[in-house]
Structure 1
């Protein structure tokens, strides 16, 4: 593994960081104040992102994306992560790579328009009674001739109100296993406007203002068989094959936000004076900075090692779980300590610290809770010795 950046990687980092600072930072206060991301603002920034070559950069080159290797993609995600989530996710979109699992016809209808910025997607798995335990989902898909009929509710579905279509996972049958019956899952494309499919406002969220969540309702929503993504009853296989790196994406954006908070903390520790000297010279502050820097470096190493192993074809679930666990918990620690160094001013919205602190909370929950990551890691350790 090479720890230095190539010339191309440095260019991507510099270009993305400049875009974030010049095009995203100026709008953060508005989004925080209103909780709304204006459609005209999305269109304006999206056009600039496309012109800069930063839009849909996560996709392979043969479908119109940037064709970045995983490490370079994570460097790009890290830089985007410095900004408000609503701005970088909705304006500099990265279509879900699960779209690559579609048929040629599905790629024409869904994938390519997303890469061109003409459409946007969202994923729907979570339900009111099925979060970490997705096998307990109750929303169902029943085959009726050549059609499928969908019923049930999904919630916490990110940016569904802005998406043109949803990829939803539904219980489509049951199978017997040594541990009892287990639900089979099938994935479907569902377009906005399909009869029987509705999107309702979701919940007010302490994290990521302007980045909405919605409740999806399926009421005898009828779909032709051509709307199945992947194979029938193989929805989990599709998800596992194409969505594994999303945990690294979350981890990488956390690295960027932590660096931003840390930068503020270091500058303030050098500028602020109390009792006749810089507060950074007091051990109570200097040791905080040392601990923050150490935690950040450890998280960076775990994330980029996992990215490197992903490209080598040797990454494991526990590699990605460790990276996500460390990066998300590190961000919470760094954001909290940065505010402590600032004191009362750290909690004021004149600085991005209170937002970073609030936004950090959801990272330990979505894309697999910290407890789920620890379960993945410990299960791998025990399995190696017959446990």
Structure 2
């Protein structure tokens, strides 16, 4: 097996890290302290990202993206993940690849403007009563002649406040299955400003300051049939086809933050002296560093293997779940131990460690909780034995 990076991959890693260090790090403290990302700053960094070829790099080359294979894309995500989430996600946007499932007319209206930096998208699935159980959603879309009427509420919708449109999943009926009735789901494009569609401020989050969430309300919101993404009642097919790799994206950004925290911990352990010697020479600190590095390497390998298998067409749901589970739980451990090594200074916002520690908490919840990932992994293990 080859574990080394290609020349192209090394160049992308170096270019992305240099951009993150020069253009994103200097603004982290301001965003963290006031919880706000000014739009003029977004536009300034966005223009630089486009010029550097880093904007919408997750997209295929034929639609204007960088055309990266999955492993190279995740190496890029890892480097972006080292910075404040609001800065790297908003200013160096990566449009949802579910937009690739649209018709050519839908791509012209939604996909290509996102790639050019003219629009932002957001994805709306979660409801107050339907988080991990998406089949339990109660928001509905009913047909009325040639149109659909949407009613219901979505919440925890990331960056919906700046999005120009939402990709919204709604229940459009019910079907009988051996396990009982199951919701049929359809995906829709909903433009900001559509009558009956309201975006309200969401909740204050301790993780990812500056990266907002919103509540979306639909009150007899009328949409034409042309707003359907994919096929009617086949919304989960669209989601499962295009959204699976988002778990690997989460894993990759966690790797970047964990690496940054470990780097700080190693430097501090080498520089800080107590009782006449470097604290890194004390077993209580040195063993922490060893465990942190080992866990980080394990998470790296799980993520890169899953990425490689995705490009080979052999990846399983369990592969991606293992990578997401390991990387997110590893980040929590590494961030916590980095703070412990720094002592009181680790909790001061002059260092990025307290942010990384806070931000780590949400990673075990969104894009499928750790419990959901364990369910997927165990289900696959048992399936071979008739379970």
TM-score range, shorter chain: over 0.9
Cα deviation, residue 154, structure 1: 0.1
Q: Which residue of 2 aligns with 1:361?
A: 361
Counterpart-to-counterpart distance in 1, 2:229 and 2:353: 41
Task: Show the counterpart of 2:10.
Answer: 10
1:163 maps to which residue? 163
The aligned residue for residue 377 of structure 2 is 377
Segments of 5+ residues of structure 1 without an aligned counterpart are: none
- For each residue in 1:152-193, what CA deviation from the matched residue of structure 2 results, as whole angstroms up to 9, or x when unmatched? 000000000010000000000000011111100000000000
Question: Structure 2: which 5+ residue stretches go unaligned?
Answer: none
CA offsets, 1:243-299, max 9 Å, x none?
A: 010000000000000000000000000000001100000000000000000000000
**Separation in 2, partners of 1:321, 1:266:** 29
| CA distance in structure 2 between the aligned counterparts of 1:303 and 1:127, rounded to whole angstroms | 29
What are the within-5 Å matches in structure 2 for residues 1-387 of structure 1?
A: 1-387=1-387
Alignment partner of 1:385: what SS? coil
RMSD over aligned Cα atoms: 0.4
Secondary structure at the aligned position of 2:110 is classed as helix
Q: Distance between the aligned counterparts of 1:104 and 1:2, measured in 2? A: 39
In 2: Cα distance, 1:87 partner to 1:310 partner: 28
Q: TM-score, normalised by structure 2?
A: 1.00
- Aligned mates of 1:303, 1:269 — CA distance in 2: 28
For 1:118 and 1:276, locate their aligned partners in 2 and report how far apart those are by CA, in whole Å.
58
Q: Take 1:149 and 1:87, find their aligned partners in 2: how far apart are those partners?
A: 36
Give 1:234 deviation, angstroms: 0.2
Matches of 2:176 and 2:382, distance apart in 1: 26
What SS does structure 1 have at the residue aligned with 2:105? helix
